[in-house]
Amino acid sequence: MKEEGNGLFAGMEFYIPPGVLGRSDARAMIQAQGGTIASHVTGLENQIVLMDRHKIDHRNERKLAVEYISDCIKQNNLLPPHAYMGDGEWSPMPVVTKSHPKKKYTDLERGAMLAFVVDKDRDYNKPLSRKFWDLAAAQQITDHSSESMHEHYRKQLVNKIPAEKNQLIDLYRRSQSDDGAAPSAVLPIPTVAVPPPRSPTAVQKAAANVPRPVKTLSPRLTTPPPHRPRTTPPPRHETSLPRLESGLVDSVSQVSSPLEVPSRKRLRTELPSQVASTQQVDIWFEELQAATGVPRVAAAHALYASSGNPRVALMYLRNQLPRDCWQEDEDAWILRNFNDLPNDLGEDEIKTHIRRVLREDQDPLPRRQTVQLIWQRLQFLKY
DNA sequence: GGACGGGGTCGTGAACCATC
DNA sequence: GATGGTTCACGACCCCGTCC
């Protein structure tokens, strides 16, 4: 560890999971001392995770008890980490052990898996046999079992678009290199969603002409909701690309971009705040066409059905209709019930209205949907 | 028998909500 | 505004049925 710039923690990055006792105090102390707070675990060397002592299950210099911060400040010095690492000897609580802990895949592990596929001259767009992953497990490509890697690959990784896969591989390769600063040779992943044309007809017109988004979905979407909890990290779409480029990639729940399979949880707060550029839209069309072989018009239609989310559009084109990919009768239901709402209604009022309609159930929605998704779709349709 | 896909279980964490 | 409990969704892991 080194000290640079101003403050005890200058140049250092910490991640404090939600729920850690004294989290807010530690955050304040770190920031006051020039350190930075990461919103997600990166799995990279430059980040220290601060946890409750009794929850640290193994010794690791990058996983320390949260008291480390206050103690360093008391001593006005960066203390040796050893006394703050996981160890049953000093822990006031028994070390929690699990027979089969479920470890999250980090981006480095995803990159390692993909790099392994590439290194073995295999097509990373196609499923691979269990035997292949047996080999990967034997070579300890990750700490996960072969079956786990097999499942993760076929259910998650294989669905990523080539640009994302390349980015993960690139991240992994850079982490393996000493300097860690090799320039990325892969396509940047766009971080914004496309507000597509207003109707299918418009989509078809646009398909011949490449749809160009013209403005944000709504002013409300450009600012965080006022009721967002203090500890909620900033929307990932605001940070994903810079984080990738700086190597600070989220490992908890994957690289974030509109191109990934959208987490419904994430969608509840993370909405597009920018407009895609012409180049970005072109890239998406090319990606969709390359991945599925469909004509441009179909790609445009898929983008429309997916509210402008290219990754959902990809699933749509693969006949994997996710819940946030909308069908005609569902759009009709939304417009029938909510299109006449006053324009000055706020998000909360609209959602209250949506809840009431869902509760009354007089005009049931064809598919079960969350209030948040309906609200988002409404914003999209009204745009 | 191996590959593959579907689906179940369970741990985790974010979002939401009620209470103080 | 802070805190704690609840709900919900995701993903890791596992199992099983089907197909070749």
The answer to whether the C-beta of A261 is closer than 7 A to strand C is yes
Strands (E), chain A: 13-15, 36-38, 47-51, 63-65
How far, in Å, are A212, A232, A263, A284, A327 from residue A188 at the CA level?
Answer: 19, 26, 21, 11, 30
At residue A43's C-alpha, the angle toward residues A40 and A48, to 5°, is 75
- A54 CB and strand B closer than 7 A: no
The mean pLDDT of A144-151, rounded to a whole number, is 74
Architecture per CATH, A13-83: 3-Layer(aba) Sandwich (3.40)
Rounded to whole angstroms, what are the CA distances from A223 to A38, A99, A350? Answer: 20, 43, 17
Is the shortest CB-to-strand distance from A266 to strand B under 7 Å? Answer: yes
Q: In Å, what is the CA distance from A14 to each residue of A26, A51, A55, A78? A: 10, 10, 17, 14
**What is the predicted pLDDT for the residue at A101?**
47
Segment A346-373, tens digit of pLDDT = 666 666 677 667 665 566 666 656 666 6
Q: Show the tokens assigned to A10.
A: 């200058």
Quick one: pLDDT band at residue A50, thresholds 50, 70, 90? confident
Please state which of the ranges A9-13, A64-68, A169-173, A196-200 shows the lowest mean pLDDT: A196-200
**Type and span of the H or E element at A314:** helix A310-317
Cα–Cα nearest to A311, from A288, A338, A334, A280:
A288
Length of chain A: 383
| Tens-digit pLDDT profile for residues A21-37 | 666 677 777 877 888 77
- The reply to whether A154 Cβ lies less than 7 angstroms from strand B is yes
Q: According to the per-residue pLDDT averaged within each range, which of A172-186, A189-203, A348-362 is highest?
A: A348-362
Residue A347 C-beta-side C-alpha neighbours within 13 Å: 21
**Residue–nucleotide distance: A42 CA to B20 C1' (Å):** 36
pTM of the model: 0.35
Domain boundaries, chain A: 13-83, 107-176, 276-325, 326-382
- A7-16, A120-129, A228-237, A302-311: the lowest-pLDDT one: A228-237
Tens of pLDDT, residue by residue over A298-315, are: 777 777 766 666 666 676
Nucleotides in B strand less than 7 A from protein CB = 2-7, 10-17
pLDDT digits (tens, 9 = 90+) for A222-258: 222 333 332 333 332 332 222 222 222 233 223 333 3
Residue A127, CB, strand B, below 7 Å:
yes
Would you say residue A7 has pLDDT above 70? yes
